[in-house]
Amino acid sequence: MIQLKVNGVDRSFGGEPEMPLLWYLRDVLGLTGSKFGCGVGLCGACTVHVNGHAARSCVTAMRDAGGKEVTTIEGLDNNGLHPVQKAWMQINVPQCGYCQVGQIMQAAALLNSKRKPADREIDEAMSGNICRCGTYQRIRAAIKAAAGEMA
C-alpha cells in the first residue's frame, strides 16, 4: 500500500505503483480540477504541489508520491480563494480555462519561493505551462498582482 496525504487527508493506494498521480486524483479520488493535457509533462495542465513544490502529476508515479503531501487546486486555499486565484479573477485571465488550474498551481508555487518575481523570472517559471487560448500577458499581470497582494 502506498500512503500519502492529499489536501491534508491521509490516503492509501493499493493499485499499480506505476499509475501516474494524475489518474489517481482524477479517476480514483474524483478530484478533477487537475487536468490531462499531454501525459508527458510538456504542458503543465496537471500541475499540483508535492511537498509544496510544483509537480507534473501526469508523470509522477504513485510509487514516487508515497509519503508525500499532495495539494491540488481543490486544496490550495482553505478559506476559499488563494491570492493567486483572486488575482486571476481580478485580471480576468481565463478564456476556456482548461489550463488555468495548472497555471495557478505553478504561479502559487513560484510566489512561495519568490515574493516579487521579475518578468524574466515569471516567464521562466511559467514556461512549462501551455495556454492555447493565449492568455499569457494576463497570466503575467495576474502574477504581479498576486505578488503585490501577498507582499
Choose between 36 and 114: whose C-beta lies nearer to other proteins: 36
Q: Which of the stretches 3-11, 49-57, 70-78, 110-118 binds other proteins when contact is defined by CB under 8 A? A: 70-78
Which is nearest to 26 in space by CA: 73, 69, 67?
73
Interaction of residue 47 with other proteins, rule CB under 8 A: no
Angle CA(36)–CA(141)–CA(45) in degrees, nearest 5? Answer: 5
Determine phi and psi for 20, rounding to 5 degrees: -65, 145
Nearest approach in angstroms of CB 111 to other proteins is 15
Distances (CA, A) of 24 to 27, 29, 63, 76: 6, 6, 12, 18
Interaction of residue 126 with other proteins, rule CB under 8 A: yes
Which is nearest to 71 in space by CA: 43, 99, 105, 114?
105
Q: Which of the stretches 6-14, 31-39, 63-71, 110-118 binds other proteins when contact is defined by CB under 8 A? A: 31-39
Interaction of residue 130 with other proteins, rule CB under 8 A: yes
Q: Which burial class, exposed, middle or buried, applies to 97 when counting CB atoms under 10 A from its CB (0-12, 13-18, 19+)?
A: middle
Interface pick for other proteins out of 7, 47, 71, 100 (rule CB under 8 A): 100
Strand, coil or helix: 9? strand
Interaction of residue 110 with other proteins, rule CB under 8 A: no
Residues that bind other proteins (CB under 8 A): 15-16, 19-20, 23, 26-28, 30, 32-40, 42-43, 45, 72-74, 81, 85, 88-89, 92-101, 104, 119, 122-124, 126-140
